[in-house]
Structure 1
C-alpha cells in the first residue's frame, strides 16, 4: 500500500500526533516524523504549507491535513 510519501509534523507531547503515527504504523506504512519542537526551519515550513501552527500536520503526497482526520487520511490513502 506504500505508494505515497507521508510526512508527520509533530511534537513529543501531542496526543493526536501519537494517534496519527500509531495509525500509520498499524497500516504498515512508512512515514517521516519531523519534531517541530526541535526543528525551527521545519516548523516554519509546516506553517507555510498548512497556514496552521498546531500539530499534527500530515502531508500525504502533495495534500496537507491539519489534525488527525482519519476519514481524510483513509480517503487519500484509499483505505
Structure 2
C-alpha cells in the first residue's frame, strides 16, 4: 500500500497530529514529519500548500488534507 508519499506537518502539542501519526503507524505506513513550531521553512511550505496555519496538514501524494480527516485519508489510500 505504501506507494504514495505521506507528509505530516505537526506541532508537539497537537492531539490530532498524534492521532494521525498513530493511524499511519497502525496501517504500517511510513511518513515524513515536519514540526512547524521549530521549522519555519516547513511552516511556510505548509501554508503555501494548504492556506492553513493550523495543524495537522497531511499530504498524501498530491492530495492535501486539513486536520485528521480519517474518511478522506482512507479514501485516498483506497481503504474501505
With the shorter chain as reference, the TM-score category is: over 0.9
How much is the aligned-residue C-alpha RMSD, in angstroms?
Answer: 0.4
TM-score normalized by the length of structure 2:
0.98
Match of 1:39 in 2: 39
Q: For 1:48 and 1:2, how far apart are their aligned partners in 2?
A: 25
**Structure 1: where are the runs of 5+ without partners?**
none
Question: Structure 1 residue 15 and structure 2 residue 21: aligned?
Answer: no
Q: CA deviation at 1:61?
A: 0.1
Normalising by structure 1, what TM-score? 0.99
Kindly report structure 1 stretches of 4+ aligned residues shifted beyond 4 Å: none
| Aligned pairs, number | 79
Structure 1 residue 69: Cα displacement: 0.1
